[in-house]
Structure 1
Amino acid sequence: MLTVDEALARVLAHAAPLDAVRVPLLDALGLVLGEAVCADVDSPPFDNSAVDGYAVRAADVQAASPGAPVDLVLVEEVHAGTWPARDVGPGACAKVMTGAPIPRGADAMVMREDAREQAGRVAVLAPARPGDHVRRAGEDIRRGEEVLPAGTRIGPAETAVLAAMGAAKPLCIRPPRVAVVSTGDEVCPIEEQPGPGRLRNSNLHALAALVREAGARIHSLRHLRDDEAETEAAFRACAGLEGGEPADVIVTSGGVSVGDRDFVKPVLERLGSLALWRVKLKPGKPLAFGQIGSALFFGLPGNPVSTMVTFELFVRPALWRLMGRSDLARPRALAVLQAPLPHTPGRQEFARARVRLTEGALLAWPTGAQGSGMLRSLLGANALLSVPADAGSLLPGDMVEALLLDLPCTRGASSA
C-alpha cells in the first residue's frame, strides 16, 4: 500500500491545468488567470483630487495662516465626471470635489476645512506644498505595465483591478466538471423515511457540496444500485464514452472495497486504467484512483467520514491543479493536543478536531469518537489532526500537525 504522500503524488502526476476560456468578470471569482493582464490606461488616468477642497498654486499660499489668510479668486467648480474648463493662474483657485480632475496650473489642494469661501473669493487659512492631496496620473498603475501575471487567482481585489483595466471577459483556466456518483442498495433519497436496513443518501450531497466549495462545477449527480451493468453504463455516460459532454473528474462513494457487490474497481479497470488502490490511511484505506477516457476517476470509500476525508486529501488538490492553482494544499500548523487521541500504529490517521488560537498557541480538541461512520464527528471540525503511521496514542500536551479546514476560532467553548 502507498503512503498518503505517495498516493497524492501519483494523483497529481495525472492532473494538469485544463484549457483556458473567456468568462464574464463576475463569473471569474475564484478562477485562475490563463494569461497576463497589462494595463491599457494609467490608473488613475489623470491628476485628481484626494479631498474636497480648492485647487491652488502652492507658491500663492505658502505663507497662509489663520491669522494671515491668503485671498484668492474662485474661477470655477469641478465635479467628478466633468473636466476643467479654465486654468488656475496666479491669485486664483478652483473648487474641486474628491476624484475630480485638477485644473491645469494648480499643483496642490487645500482642504475645505482650511478655507473660507464667500462671494466668489476664497480665504486660504493654511499653507500647501506642491502635490498636497493630489493623486497623480499613473501613480498606482502605468499604462502597459503587467498588473496581474498568468496564474493569479482572482479574488475581490483582482476583480477590482480587472474592472479598472476594462477586462470584461478575462481568460481563465476553466473549472473542472465533476460527475458525483453514490452507490449502494441500502441508500434511499433524503426525502424518504428510511425503511429497515436503509439510510439516507448523505454522501451524494456531501460530495456535491465539497465539489462546489472547491470551486469546481457539477457535471451530473447519480445514485447507483449495487449492479455491475448499471455501474458500467453510468461510468460510460460520465466519461462521455457514449457521446455527450464528458466530465473532467468522476468521484464515487462506496462499492470500492472487496465485497461481492463492490463493482466500482472492476468496472474502472475494464473501462479505463487503475493507477492506485488502497492507501495506508485511516479513515479511507479502500481508495481507488485511475482514469476513464479523459476523466480522472476517484473511487472513495462509502463510510461518510472516509468519503469526506479522502476528498480533502486527494480530490481537492487534484481539482485545484486542474484549475491552474499553485496552492494545492490547505495550510498546516502545529497544535498542542488538549485531550487524549488513541491511535494504533500502522496507518497514518487524520482525526477530526476543533482548533483554537489562545495566547499565541494553537490548541486542538478531537471531536469525540473517530469511527469512519461517525458523521457527527465532522460537525464543528475545523481541522484534521495528522497522526503518523508509526505513532502510538497521543496525550494532552503532545504536538500534532493540524490540516486547517477553516480559520481557528479565538474564543468559545473548546470541547463542547
Structure 2
Amino acid sequence: MKTVDEHLEHILRTVHPLAPLEFELLEAGGTLLAEDVSSPVALPPFDNSAMDGYAVRAGDLAGATEQAPVTLSVVGDIAAGDAGVHAIAGGLCARIMTGAPLPAGADAVVPVEWTDGGTVKVAIRRAPEPGGAIRRAGEDVLPGEVVLPAGTMLGPAQLGMLAGVGRRRAWVRPRPRVVVMSTGAELTEPGTPLPDGGIWDSNGVTLTAAVTDEGGVGFRNGIVGDDPGRFLEMLDAQLLRADAVITSGGVSMGAYEPVKEALTSLETVDFVKVAMQPGMPQGFGVVGEEKVPIFALPGNPVSAFVSFVIFVRPALRVMRGLPPHAAPPSRAVTTEPLKSPEGKRSYLRGRYTGETVSPVRGQGSHQLAALSSANALIVVPESATEVAAGTEVEVIPL
C-alpha cells in the first residue's frame, strides 16, 4: 500500500507545465504569463492634465486668493485626444480636459473648482504649485520597462496593463483541457427518469466543476457503461482535445471494473491502494501517443472528490505553471473528537471557521449531502487513530 505522499510524488514527477500558446487578451484571464512584457513607449506618452481645468503659467498666479482672484484670458480649449499644437504665453491660459496634452509654456493646471469657470476670461482664486495636476510623461512606465514578468497571473488589472502597452495578444500557459468520464452501468443522466437500481451521475458534474474551479477547462464526456472495449473507444476519441483525463468508478477489486481492466491492458497506467480514507483505490498513468495523464478515481462521490483535491488539483496547478499547492496547510482546533483507521490518512469533511473546525454529520464515502455542507477537509495523520477535542489539526479549505 502506497502512502498519500508517495502517490502524489509519482503524479507530480509525471505531469509538466503545458507549452505556451498565444491568446487574445480576453481569452487569457486566469492564465500564467509565459513571456516578459515591456512597454514600447513611455506611459503616459506625453505630459497631460490630471483633471478638468485651465493650463497656466504658475508664475502668473502668485498671490491669487479668494478675496483677490487673478484674471487671465482664455485662448482656447484642449480636449483629450487633441493632436494639435498648442502653446500659451504669459498672462494667458487654455481650458483643458482630463488626459489632454499640456500646451507648451504651461507648467501647472488649475482645477475648474478654483475658478469662476469663464470661457473668455477666467477668475482664478488660488495659486497653483508648479507641476500641480500634471501627469508627466513616463511617470508610470518608462520606454522599454518590463511591466509584467513571465509567471504573472493575468487578472483584470494585468490584462488592462497589457492593453495599456498596446498588446492585443500574449503568450501564456493555457488552461488544461480535462475530459471527465463517469463509468458504471447503474449511472443515469441527471434530468432523466431514474430506473430501478439506478443512480444519477453526480461525479461527472462534480469533477467537471472542480476542474473549472481550479482554472482548467472541463469537458463532461457523459456516462460509460461496464464494457472495457467501449470505454477504450470513447477514451481514444477524447484524447484529441485532452491535456488530462479523469475517470470515476471501475477501479476497485471486484468484478465489473471496466476502467481497471481496460487501462491495465495498456501497461502505462498503475492501479494501487493508497493509505487514505476515503479514496483508497487509485489509478494513474499516461495514455495515447501524447502521453496524456489520466487519473482513475474511485466511484463513490466523496472518494472521487477528495481524490481530486489531494491528487488532481496539485497536478493541474503544475500544468498551469504554478506550484502544486496554493498555500501552506491551514491549522485549526477541532471542536469534537475525531477517529481514523490505523495506518491511514483520513480526510474528514468539516466546517471551518478560520480558528476552529467541526466534523459534519455523515462521514461515509457515499454521503454527498454531508460533503456539500462542508467547506474543508480535516486531516488526521496515519499515526493517529483518535484525536481529542481541542487538538490543533491540519485543515484543507474547499
* Normalised-by-shorter TM-score class: over 0.9
1:239-278 map, 5 Å? 239=239, 245-275=240-270, 277-278=272-273
Matches of 2:62 and 2:274, distance apart in 1? 76
1:341-352 map, 5 Å? 341-352=338-349
**Number of the residue aligned with 1:176:** 176
Aligned residues: 396
**Number of the residue aligned with 1:94:** 94
Following TM superposition, by how much is the alpha carbon of 1:248 offset from its aligned partner in structure 2, in angstroms? 1.7
Does residue 1:303 correspond to 2:300, yes or no? yes
Following TM superposition, by how much is the alpha carbon of 1:331 offset from its aligned partner in structure 2, in angstroms? 5.6
3-state secondary structure, aligned to 1:385:
strand
**Number of the residue aligned with 1:148:** 148
Matches of 2:153 and 2:343, distance apart in 1? 39
**Number of the residue aligned with 1:32:** 32
Question: Residues 3 and 280 of structure 1 are in contact (CA less than 8 Å); yes or no, is this contact kept in structure 2?
Answer: yes
**Number of the residue aligned with 1:329:** 326
1:6-21 map, 5 Å? 6-21=6-21
Does residue 1:286 correspond to 2:284, yes or no? no
Structure 1-normalised TM-score?
0.89
Matches of 1:89 and 1:392, distance apart in 2? 86
Matched residue type, 1:371: G
Matched residue type, 1:333: S
Aligned CA RMSD, in angstroms, stands at 2.0
**Number of the residue aligned with 1:228:** 228
Does residue 1:374 correspond to 2:367, yes or no? yes
**Number of the residue aligned with 2:132:** 132
Q: Which runs of 5+ in 1 are unaligned?
A: 240-244, 406-416
Following TM superposition, by how much is the alpha carbon of 1:220 offset from its aligned partner in structure 2, in angstroms? 5.6
Following TM superposition, by how much is the alpha carbon of 1:28 offset from its aligned partner in structure 2, in angstroms? 0.6
Question: Residues 350 and 376 of structure 2 are in contact (CA less than 8 Å); yes or no, is this contact kept in structure 1?
Answer: yes
**Number of the residue aligned with 1:408:** none
3-state secondary structure, aligned to 2:395:
strand
**Number of the residue aligned with 2:163:** 163
Structure 2-normalised TM-score?
0.93
Matches of 1:189 and 1:352, distance apart in 2? 27
Matches of 1:368 and 1:203, distance apart in 2? 21
Pair 219,379 (structure 1): closer, same or farther in 2 beyond 3 Å:
closer
Deviations along 1:242-277, one digit per CA (max 9) or x if unpaired, are: xxx252211100111111111322322322413562
3-state secondary structure, aligned to 1:54:
strand
Matches of 1:237 and 1:86, distance apart in 2? 66
Q: Which runs of 4+ in 1 moved over 6 A?
A: none
Matches of 2:276 and 2:345, distance apart in 1? 5
Deviations along 1:347-386, one digit per CA (max 9) or x if unpaired, are: 11222222224xxxx2222222211111012224222222
**Number of the residue aligned with 2:56:** 56
Question: Residues 55 and 94 of structure 1 are in contact (CA less than 8 Å); yes or no, is this contact kept in structure 2?
Answer: yes
**Number of the residue aligned with 1:383:** 376
Deviations along 1:171-222, one digit per CA (max 9) or x if unpaired, are: 1222222221111111111122322221111111111111222222235603
Matched residue type, 1:316: R
Does residue 1:216 correspond to 2:216, yes or no? yes
Question: Which shows bigger deviation, 372-381 or 83-92?
Answer: 83-92
3-state secondary structure, aligned to 1:336:
strand
Pair 83,230 (structure 1): closer, same or farther in 2 beyond 3 Å:
same
Following TM superposition, by how much is the alpha carbon of 1:48 offset from its aligned partner in structure 2, in angstroms? 1.6
Matches of 1:306 and 1:330, distance apart in 2? 23
Question: Which shows bigger deviation, 83-92 or 297-306?
Answer: 83-92
3-state secondary structure, aligned to 1:250:
strand
Following TM superposition, by how much is the alpha carbon of 1:119 offset from its aligned partner in structure 2, in angstroms? 5.8
Question: Residues 178 and 217 of structure 2 are in contact (CA less than 8 Å); yes or no, is this contact kept in structure 1?
Answer: yes
**Number of the residue aligned with 1:42:** 42
Matches of 1:119 and 1:228, distance apart in 2? 83
**Identical positions, percent:** 40
Matches of 1:272 and 1:172, distance apart in 2? 34
